[in-house]
């Protein structure tokens, strides 16, 4: 849960309140759901969790309803481990999970910041194509 809180602090979503009870439920549901439609892949250094990638299988999108798509919800790695081969192994493990569940596509995202520029290059090197740009506006 601490990793997800750290990810939120670094993200454009840092202004949102973080509910610890919800985070606990999110983690439990994704760790226990890995054989169905949810997964959480963990990166560990010994007993310490230093990264995670969580996602769901979704075919409700109006443009991809005929496909089984694995959608990343959060991918975050402790800054000390970023760029290491193990940090990118999270995506490889996620891809393997999606293949085992007969997904036809994977959707990944990144934030628009310096780290996102690096991640974008990595995605492209792994065969991913940019398909969408999203925007967020606070309603007052």
* Spacing of C-alpha 78 from chain mean position: 14
Catalogue all structural domains in the chain, each as residue range(s) with its CATH number.
2-125 (3.40.630.30)
pLDDT given for residue 127 in this prediction: 93
3-state secondary structure of 71: strand
Q: What confidence score (pLDDT) does residue 36 get?
A: 67
The pLDDT, as a whole number, for residue 3 is: 61
**Which pLDDT score, from 0 to 100, does residue 129 have?**
93
* Residue 72 token pair: 């990343």
Which residues, given as ranges, of the chain have pLDDT below 70? 1-16, 18, 23-24, 26-36, 59-65, 113-114
CA–CA gap between residue 50 and residue 30 (Å, rounded): 17
CB 97 within 8 A of CB 34: yes
| Distance from C-alpha of 89 to C-alpha of 58, rounded to nearest angstrom | 22
Q: What is the pLDDT of residue 115?
A: 72
């Amino acid at each position: 849960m601490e990793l997800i809180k750290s990810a939120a602090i670094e993200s454009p979503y840092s202004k949102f309140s973080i509910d610890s009870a919800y985070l606990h439920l999110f983690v439990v549901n994704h760790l226990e759901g890995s054989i169905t439609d949810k997964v959480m892949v963990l990166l560990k250094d010994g007993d310490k969790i230093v990264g995670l990638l969580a996602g769901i299988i979704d075919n409700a999108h109006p443009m991809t309803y005929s496909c089984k798509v694995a959608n990343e919800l959060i991918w975050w790695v402790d800054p000390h481990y970023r760029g290491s081969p193990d940090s990118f192994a999270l995506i490889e493990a996620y891809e393997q999970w999606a293949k085992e569940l007969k997904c036809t596509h994977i959707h990944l995202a990144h934030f628009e910041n310096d780290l996102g520029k690096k991640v974008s290059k990595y995605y492209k090197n792994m065969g991913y194509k940019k398909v969408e740009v999203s925007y967020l506006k606070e309603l007052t």
